[in-house]
Chains A and B, each alone.
Chain A
Amino acid sequence: MVTIETPRSPRSRKSANREKLAWLFMRASGVILIVLVFGHLYINLFTGEGIKAIDFAFVAGKWADPFWQVWDTAMLWLALIHGTNGMRTLVNDYSERERTRKILNTSLWTVCILLVILGTLVTTTFDPCPDTSVVDALPQFCNK
């Protein structure tokens, strides 16, 4: 007779609580991301000339406004953590060896943290009028 562990028993009480938090985070961040991502796509791809209009000057124009800096930074953090946690559930579901699972999950969170740091530095230290030989590439408000 084969006995199997009750599938419902978590690895530990602590990780069960963490899983519940992760589950809640996916739903809470998901709702906020619908507003942030759908808004992002609407403004950048649907209004005006859409994809055609996107260049350095466009981004500089947006990030000259703290509203879009906050919007994009929030979107960056939430999307990366939501996406990485989603990938974690897939890795947990499909990896067959414990070692593989650990390596993949560690890589996922490493990439997530690096991109969150990189992205946050970009949105917060961005200079819309940098020194450049190609003045045409700059937004109009730089030529004053």
Chain B
Amino acid sequence: MPTKPTGTLYRGKTGMWAWVLHRITGVAIFFFLLVHVLDTALVRLSPEAYNEVIATYKTPVIGFAELGLVAAVLYHGLNGVRVILIDFWSKGSKYQVAMFWIVIALAVTTLAIFAPRHIANVLSHMSEGGH
């Protein structure tokens, strides 16, 4: 008896999700990079123009969004090392799942060290009324 087709959606496991996350974080960082080159270019226009625009980076909403940006950069960079190890280390593909969890652990730890400090800076800037 013929069995029902199971569909064509690829269901990878850890490796696929690591790849998906690498792409998503890459695209996010790319678009931020475009904005960041432009906002930094304002230093050439005038100190006031630069200071005015950079002040938005210190607001609570954008300040919290920066945590997401830092998380994306951490994941993308660390997972990039994992990708290189899979390509060049003879045991890379054997340990790719373990390496994914090491990447997550390192990213989470670094973010846990960075976040309280960054949030404190953003909140104290707000309570001082910004400028």
Contacts and interface: CB of A to CB of B under 8 A. Distances in A.
Are both chains from one complex?
A: yes
Interface of A: 27, 30-31, 33-34, 37-38, 41, 45-46, 49-52, 54-57, 59-60, 76, 79-80, 83-84, 86-87, 90, 111, 115, 118-119, 121-122, 125-126, 130, 132, 134, 137-138
Interface in B1-48: 23, 26-27, 29-30, 33-34, 37-38, 40-41, 43-44, 46-48
B30 A111 contact: no
A50 B26 CA distance: 24
Contact of B54 (A54, A76, A87): A54
Contact of B47 (A27, A56, A76, A118): A56
Contacts of B84: 27, 30-31
Nearest to A53: B121
Contact of B121 (A31, A49, A126): A49
B118 A50 contact: yes
A100 B48 CA distance: 41
14 contacts: A27-B83, A34-B80, A34-B81, A37-B77, A45-B118, A52-B125, A57-B47, A60-B43, A83-B29, A83-B33, A86-B30, A90-B27, A118-B41, A138-B47
